[in-house]
Amino acid sequence: MKLEAEGTYQCTVTGLIFDVTKAVVIKYSVLSWSKYADYIEKPWIVGGPLFNISCDSASDLTSIQFPHSLSLNADHESDMSFKVLHIKSTGPSIEPSVDHSMTHVKWHVSSLSPVGPVVQTQEPVYYDGAVILYKVVNNHPSLSFRVYVATNNDSFIKDITKTVKSSGKKFIKIDKPPVCQKRLQDGKKYKLISESEAEITPEEIEFCDGSVLKLKHYFEVYLEQPMVFTLSLIEDESEEIVWKAKLRE
């Protein structure tokens, strides 16, 4: 991102917000949390994507607002503590945040190296969720899919993409609206159902933010014959539909 003057700027791809005091060039990329899993110790949990950020004039990049993946309600300030994990050459450090909103965590820049939001709370944790579909590409008439249920977190989603690419099978991503209609709760069980008869494995999953896990949970869907069908993600306890999509040939 090449910034021409003092001001506040937001990246439309990652959601990062930068405050700068003059013209600067900022370079940044999404990192995997799983590489730094040992640094996330209870009671802290991942709060959003992890980024590697550099600036040609670091002193002029005064603050960064990180997008977080938690779904907050009106009284979220009372029971949550947002901070930033800063992975420096001397080791990891949990640094205070300046403020947080329904979507971002603000941090005053101390130095630049891998950084990402973390959160501590005694209350149930809810996430903005996403459902991501991949179809197996082969010469068989049958249909096979992987269905990932993820936090809406760029680090998590990037890990899924890398896992699928490194698989021995060939996949194609199916573009369906990924955002869940209902927020996902840590520890709750969810099941995937099909209106047409399909084999779905496992029967249910217990949702957790898998950002620090190298292996991501997914449903495997198999149909012996190609047909139009509808997939729905259901919260097991309430039977409420969280996400739904119709798949055509």
- pLDDT tens-digit series, residues 166-218: 988 899 999 999 999 999 999 999 999 998 889 999 999 999 999 999 889 99
Q: What is the mean pLDDT of the chain?
A: 92
Closest by CA to 14, choosing from 40, 52, 43, 44, is 52
Q: Structure pTM? A: 0.89
What is the phi/psi pair of residue 153, to 5°?
-135, 120
SS3 state of residue 156: helix
DSSP state for residue 207 in the 8-state scheme? -
Encode pLDDT of 117-162 as tens digits: 999 988 889 999 999 999 999 888 888 999 999 998 999 999 999 9
Per domain, the residue ranges of the chain are: 2-121, 126-247
> Residues, the chain, total?
249
What pLDDT is recorded for position 240?
Answer: 95
CATH fold group of domain 126-247: Immunoglobulin-like (2.60.40)
